[in-house]
Chains A and B, each alone.
Chain A
Amino acid sequence: MDEKVLAAQKWVNATYGGVSGYNRCPENGATGWATMFSLTRGLQVELGITALSDSFGPTTLSKLAALGDIGPSTSNKNIIRIVQSALFCKGYWGGNEDGTYDAATTASVTQLKRNAGFAVPSDGRVQPKIFKALLTMDAYSLLSGGTEEVRTIQQWLNSSYLNKSTFFLIPCDGHYTRDVQTALMKALQYEFGVPEDQATGNFGPTTQAGLRNHQVAEGDSGIFVKLFSAACVFNGRVGSTSTVFKTAFDSALTTYVRAFQEFSALTVNGRGDYQTWAQLLVSMGDPDRDAGACDTRFHISVDRARALVSGGYTVVGRYLDEDPDSTLDKEIQPGELDAIFDGGMRVFPISQYGARSLSDFTFPQGYAHAQKAHDRAVGYGFNTGTVIYFAVDYDATDPEITSNIVPYFNGVQSGLASRGKRYVAGVYGSRNVCSRVSAEAYARYSFVSGMSWGFSGNLGFPMPENWSFTQIKEFRFSASQTDSFDLDRDVQRPHADKGVGRDGIGGTESPVSKYVQYIADLYSTAVRYDKGNPSLRVMEYLRYPRYVDLYSGWQTLIGDVDRDWIAYAEDNGPNRVTSFTDPSYGVTVHADHFGATANAFYLKGSGSGTGANRGDFGGWGGDLSTFYGDWRNNADSYASGYAFCMDRLAKLNVSSSFSFGDMVEDVDGYLVGTAVKNGARIDEQVQSLIGGNGHLRRFTNYFAQRHGSSVSHAEDTARTMLVDVGDDDVLDAMRTQAIRQVSGWNTLLPGYLTDGKLDPYLQGYAETLQKLADQES
């Protein structure tokens, strides 16, 4: 509740409430678009415009320009008050609010312009385009989650191109968004020589030609390298590689470009060639590049499959079912899978019922659709672990993703779980739909609908980290002289979802049986070794050699393994299986991390109540500590620890020091280690958790057993772990060392943060646990 914003809202409503066409804004002291629109309409009234509108368009701009710059000499006091109200709404001090353009107003306008990229001495007056920017919700200071590097580019774009007739002020908040991307495209167009008034920011033939003529590589410098590096910065980190805004194409930029090209499945040459430019700027990239996959609603015969293979397509996406009231006949036909395989292709299944409007997406519908998809997939014989792509086939806006799309996918996960999680959920949709559904509803892979580059969910968003297919063009494919049908071209990402071949149909073995058998074989080997608890021996073998010895900290934490046993097992035990694919979410789970955590909980138990001990540190506690260091390293972009957790903690498609796989390993390690401590056998526990249905409720069980399903209990336990575990000084030292190792010797440790600063971080952790548990019911 801001007093000045409230005063502004009251003033604008009181002044213009009686004018026809004016829309009142809520008087609640909170700024928003409604307030901006009211101020815009108020300005239009002052300019003598009768047809009022929310849009600050060309008419408003030209009538404003006729008045000259708004400043101390402006006679219209209401216009000045509108300026002052807008300044308050943006968080600047607007002045005395009496319609006098005083020193405070001048200072604030100067400050805003400086934040927006205009460093030269300012006259402190409001030009028309600045006025337009004042009446938006754009911010010119760094917002949480934004980066300084992006902000630098935003400021540079503003100061370089505001004088162009088609360029308007963009936000300088450090966030890459649609307006920022459009501004970059316009900048390219101006530099290509496109006449000012024709630069629309659209990715059309002129822009494409311009890019082809301005390819860049190491050793080049100048404006196109600058714009290219800006596009690279906007695409963000690729894995752990990122780059900065620069004028000269150096080897560091080449390194980034190579990483980006590999991530995007482009030719890796380190150069800013046309395909790389296109991929940086629009979601379909170069739609005519090599694409090894496709999808269609038409039936694939052996001849069609052979023709597709000749055309370079080796995988085809096909539908599991038909809409009840549809006559399209799009689903996989009897015998079609054999035809696809005989023709030399693989397949990936898509589930889509309607999915073209918002109302198709609710939790109950996701639940029902998932059950139907499961039943259909079983009918076709798809093996356990197959990824099914659930479709969002329209341009869902960001608020719609929050209100409907994510809940729909929560329903999908629940529905699949109700059938035992035989299948894994993937998502088809725009880049933003895919990224958010993967982060918030744990979709394993993203099939990106990249064809519509102008979608609100595509323009201004980077490629989802977990993309497996991307749809880049639709066209009519000619299988023969007499047979042609509609086909979508898709790029298949190497080493992601390979699709399903003949061996993926009709099998009874699950992908985890190899791992479950491995644990059973290790257990029998340990029984033959006949020294101590065989379950403990198994855990020791799993954690060797990575989680042993002094320099990993594990020797100090829980002691050494039985070295004779390790030698014995290497000679007499089964071949090592280092990881398996989790049945619930399709992520890779590492057996060594799981084994180490289980070993820690077995030997040390867990803290009682909200206490935390060495067992805890061997699991969630160690990960939470290094994740804290991760947060301190990113403190510039994330003042709020809560926001950091929401963006990076246990997210399927985000690489951080506390990934989703880590969380699964910690949780499974606790469940199994604790059960074994209470007398259970490790092979039976793994069978029931991974081979059976235990994984469906793993997070619920963990949250209940360790924290009594209480968020505040989890928060308090996390606080103990990070600040002071009590009597175990060595453990406190280890935790401090783990943090310092990530963020440096001068890190601000958790014990030195105020409660106001530390609590949101702990809360973010605890709420993530709760969300994971809620996801399962």
Chain B
Amino acid sequence: MLTFFVVCLWTVLGALLVGAVVRLLPGGPPARRAAAAGGFLLCALALYLWGASHMFATDIEETCTLQHHQPLEPAYGQTSLVPLHRRCNAHFDLVPPYVNPGVVAYLVACACCLGTAVRARLVEHRSPAGGRERNTEAQ
């Protein structure tokens, strides 16, 4: 439940941040949407690196037992990059639980923005207003 709440929080914050930045940019809707996509990609990258920083452990046994008070089971302890995981045992992961869903949420948002940006650009090319402008300029 807490994880769901945190994922929503991160997504909303990211969207607000990206929206605020994008509002300041010049250019038309497709350019804005592409910029938003870029912003979400950066958010995804930042959250991914934040999650990855939790996996660093000079001595995985000490980290699990002394710092997190979790037993280190022999089958666990290895790092996984996609998705981001480093488990001490079946129940405990060094990577916070909101990271992987959050990265996915940002990537989805990025894809959506990119998709709508491409579609908007394509619509622009096909619309009469756009065609008239080009025809005018060609003259």
Contact = CB atoms under 8 A, between A and B. Distances in A.
Given A240-B65, A240-B69, A737 B59 contact: no
Contact of B58 (A545, A630, A656, A738): A738
A657 B59 CA distance: 10
A546 B61 CA distance: 9
A742 B56 CA distance: 11
Interface centre among B56, B59, B66 (most CB of A within 10 A): B59
A630 B60 CA distance: 15
A551 B86 contact: yes
A171 interface: no
B56 A551 contact: yes
Contact of B56 (A593, A622, A630, A737): A737
A652 to B, nearest CB: 17
Given A737-B56, A741-B56, A551 B79 contact: yes
Interface string B56-82: 111111110111010000000111000
A553 B56 contact: yes
Nearest to B61: A546
Contacts of B77: 546
Contacts of B67: 742
Number of contact residues on B: which range applies? 10 to 19
Contact of A626 (B58, B65, B69): B58
Given A546-B77, A551-B55, A741 B66 contact: no
A549 interface: yes
Nearest to A255: B69
A626 B78 contact: no
B60 to A, nearest CB: 7
Nearest to A553: B58
A599 to B, nearest CB: 14
A655 B66 CA distance: 8
Contact of A657 (B62, B69, B78, B86): B62
B58 A741 contact: yes
A551 B57 contact: yes
A160 interface: no
B71 to A, nearest CB: 10
Contacts of A546: 60-61, 77
Nearest to B63: A741
Interface in A694-753: 737-738, 741-742
A552 B69 contact: no
Nearest to A734: B58
A241 interface: yes
Interface in A607-653: 622, 626, 630
B78 A552 contact: no
Interface string A226-263: 00000000000001110000000000000000000000
B77 to A, nearest CB: 7
B11 to A, nearest CB: 24
Contacts of A657: 59, 62, 66
B66 A545 contact: no
A651 to B, nearest CB: 14
A241 B58 contact: no
A379 B58 CA distance: 47
- Chain B CB within 10 Å, residue with most, of A239, A545, A626, A738: A626
Contact of B79 (A240, A549, A622, A656): A549
Contacts of B61: 546
Interface in B7-56: 55-56
B59 to A, nearest CB: 7
A240 B61 CA distance: 13
Nearest to B62: A657
Given A545-B78, A546-B77, A552 B66 contact: no
A622 B56 CA distance: 14
A545 B65 CA distance: 18
Contacts of A655: 66
A240 B56 contact: no
A626 B79 contact: no
Contacts of A656: 66
Query: Chain B CB within 10 Å — which of A549, A656, A741 has the most?
Result: A741
A549 B80 CA distance: 12
B46 to A, nearest CB: 16
Contacts of B65: 239-240
Contacts of B66: 240, 630, 655-657
Given A549-B79, A551-B86, A241 B69 contact: yes
A550 B78 CA distance: 11
B56 A626 contact: no
Interface string B84-102: 0010000000000000000
Given A240-B69, A241-B69, A552 B62 contact: no
B98 to A, nearest CB: 18
Nearest to B94: A551
B86 A626 contact: no
Nearest to A655: B66
Contacts of A738: 58
A378 B2 CA distance: 63
Contacts of A240: 65-66, 69
Contacts of A552: 57-60
Contacts of B56: 551, 553, 737, 741
B136 to A, nearest CB: 58
A189 to B, nearest CB: 35
A655 B65 CA distance: 10
A655 B55 CA distance: 23
Contacts of A741: 56-58, 63
Contacts of B57: 551-552, 741
A546 B86 CA distance: 13
Contacts of A742: 67
A622 B58 contact: yes
Nearest to A240: B69
A721 to B, nearest CB: 14
B99 to A, nearest CB: 15
Nearest to A738: B58
B64 to A, nearest CB: 10
Interface string A571-614: 00000000000000000000001000000000000000000000
A546 B79 CA distance: 11
Contacts of A737: 56
A240 B86 CA distance: 21
Nearest to B74: A578
A626 B62 contact: yes
A355 B63 CA distance: 43
Contacts of B86: 551
Given A240-B69, A545-B78, A549-B79, A626 B55 contact: no
A657 B86 CA distance: 20
A769 B57 CA distance: 26
Interface string A147-182: 000000000000000000000000000000000000
Interface string A512-551: 0000000000000000000000000000000001100111
A58 to B, nearest CB: 48
24 contacts: A240-B65, A240-B66, A241-B69, A545-B78, A546-B60, A546-B77, A550-B79, A551-B55, A551-B57, A551-B86, A552-B59, A553-B56, A553-B58, A622-B59, A626-B58, A626-B59, A655-B66, A657-B59, A657-B66, A737-B56, A738-B58, A741-B58, A741-B63, A742-B67
Interface of B: 55-63, 65-67, 69, 77-79, 86
Given A550-B79, A551-B57, A742-B67, 10 more contacts: A240-B66, A240-B69, A545-B78, A546-B77, A551-B55, A655-B66, A657-B59, A657-B66, A738-B58, A741-B56
Query: Nearest 5 CB-CB pairs, A to B?
Result: A551-B79, A240-B69, A551-B55, A553-B58, A738-B58
